[in-house]
Amino acid sequence: MQNHIKSKLRFVSLSVITLTYFFVQHHPTFSPVVFWGLTLTGWAIEIVIYTWKGKKAEAFLAVNEQRLRVLDFIFVMGYMWVTGGVGESPYLILIYLGIASIGLYDEKRVGLLYSLLAVAILIAYDCGYTYFYKGMWGTSVYVLSHIFMLPVFGVMANLLIAHFQQIKKEEQTVLDELVTSLAKAIGSKDSYTLGHSTRVQMYSLALGKELGLSQEEMFTLKYGALLHDIGKIHISSAVLNKTGKLTEDEWLELKGHSMEGARIIGGLKKLKGVRDIILYHHEKYDGRGYPHGLQREEIPFLAAVVNVADSFDAMTSSRSYNKPKTIEEGMEEIRRCTGTQFHPTVAAAALSLYQKGKWPRFKQTDHCEEEEYTYDMV
Ligand SMILES: [Fe+2]
């Protein structure tokens, strides 16, 4: 998560705690001077962090993120101590952790878990408190007012979540544009590969849906399928555009595109799954593929999905030196090569989609320059 978002989150979480104590100022040990002293100091620090922008601020926050988090926590603990918020402490600690956890894990369920835990501990604590002072089990009337406050925190947590979802959406758009630009870069060198990659993406997504992949896996598949041949940007045009049979050296150069593609994408940590698809999309189920000769479940599953989509498109695309197969013939080849080239589960999904009439269909272009053809090697 971006640092300025973290600092905003810190500001909001401390504000929530400050406001909460505003409501408990009737507590017997409450001291207005210390209360407002700490409140204003805390807010001032957070406002400075909140509004502080620029590269130096980014670097400072990146280095000191954990320390600032600990300082926040110490601030909250000190705050509780001076305001004597004994009864509310477990409740507020958990709320604080709940809010902070959204920032830490960016996951709704962790925040929700802390909130539920907060209710359980609040009631248990109140029961124990009542028993200790009144000698009877039961909750005090105050527990109700505290529980009624939980929706307020729920609303705030939801606002934060909505905010993060918006940020995530914006990041997604940037990533989409970046990946499309990369795909277009290879397209400017070799127009066939761009069309091929777009079709492979459609086939892969249809397969992913049929296989019931998670949303995250579908994202990885979407990018991996589109970029699977990005390494071809490194291959010489003479080899890429050669219509005749390739020499052994040329073939070796062409085969290097999966390693080269993985190297290009390798620096982007967020795209690790995509890198694996690019690196292993020419591996075969029986271990006769490249670059590492992985077999069966050693091959990342998403790479096996793209392998089927890639091979099908290579078989059925128009080629200047190879008559394209019909969709029916392509499906027959998938059936024939199940368990040798293709992962049986993926192949079965392709055949099932075809039988249900849900396999994507494209208008075939009438020319292409190249496609290395793993299928030919079966
Ligand atoms: Fe490839």
For ligand 1, the distance from its centroid to the CA atom of residue 275, given in whole angstroms, is 13
338 beta partners = 342
Q: Which two tokens stand for residue 251?
A: 């073939």
pLDDT band with cut points at 50, 70 and 90 for residue 369: very low
For ligand 1, the distance from its centroid to the CA atom of residue 197, given in whole angstroms, is 9
The pLDDT of residue 2 is 56
**Measuring CA to CA, which residue among 346, 326, 85, 336 is closest to residue 203?**
346
Q: 96: Cβ–Cβ under 8 A, 6 or more apart, which residues? A: 13, 16, 17, 73, 76
Provide the percentage of residues in the chain whose pLDDT is more than 90. Answer: 19
For ligand 1, the distance from its centroid to the CA atom of residue 118, given in whole angstroms, is 52
For ligand 1, the distance from its centroid to the CA atom of residue 210, given in whole angstroms, is 23
The pLDDT of residue 100 is 53
DSSP states of 253-310: HHHTHHHHHHHHHHT-GGGHHHHHHHHHTT--TTS--SSS---GGGS-HHHHHHHHHH
Query: Does residue 193 contact residue 229 with C-beta atoms inside 8 Å?
Result: yes
For ligand 1, the distance from its centroid to the CA atom of residue 258, given in whole angstroms, is 6
322 beta partners = 319
For ligand 1, the distance from its centroid to the CA atom of residue 74, given in whole angstroms, is 54
The stretch 129-150 carries a mean pLDDT of 70
Q: What is the pLDDT of residues 306-352, one digit of tens each?
A: 999 999 998 888 654 567 788 888 899 999 999 999 999 999 999 99
Distance separating alpha carbons of residues 343 and 28, to the nearest angstrom: 70
Task: Identify the DSSP state of 322.
Answer: B
Q: Which two tokens stand for residue 13?
A: 């979480």
**Measuring CA to CA, which residue among 139, 116, 115 is closest to residue 129?**
139
Query: Does residue 7 contact residue 72 with C-beta atoms inside 8 Å?
Result: no
Is residue 279 classed exposed, middle or buried when 0-12, 13-18 and 19+ CB atoms within 10 A define those classes?
buried
For ligand 1, the distance from its centroid to the CA atom of residue 366, given in whole angstroms, is 21
Query: Does residue 277 contact residue 302 with C-beta atoms inside 8 Å?
Result: yes
For ligand 1, the distance from its centroid to the CA atom of residue 354, given in whole angstroms, is 23
For ligand 1, the distance from its centroid to the CA atom of residue 181, given in whole angstroms, is 18
For ligand 1, the distance from its centroid to the CA atom of residue 358, given in whole angstroms, is 25
pLDDT: which is higher, 367 or 159: 159
For ligand 1, the distance from its centroid to the CA atom of residue 373, given in whole angstroms, is 8
pLDDT band with cut points at 50, 70 and 90 for residue 378: very low
54-58, 100-104, 323-327: which is most confident: 323-327
For ligand 1, the distance from its centroid to the CA atom of residue 9, given in whole angstroms, is 44
pLDDT over 90 (residue 20): no
For ligand 1, the distance from its centroid to the CA atom of residue 121, given in whole angstroms, is 56
**Alpha helix ranges (H) inside the chain:** 3-23, 32-51, 55-83, 89-105, 108-134, 141-189, 191-210, 215-227, 237-240, 248-255, 257-266, 272-280, 301-316, 327-336, 344-355
pTM for this entry: 0.58
For ligand 1, the distance from its centroid to the CA atom of residue 156, given in whole angstroms, is 48
Distance separating alpha carbons of residues 278 and 259, to the nearest angstrom: 8
For ligand 1, the distance from its centroid to the CA atom of residue 95, given in whole angstroms, is 50
Q: Which CATH architecture has domain 190-377?
A: Orthogonal Bundle (1.10)
The pLDDT of residue 111 is 59
The pLDDT of residue 234 is 82
pLDDT: which is higher, 307 or 127: 307
Half-sphere CA count of 16, side-chain side, radius 13 A: 28
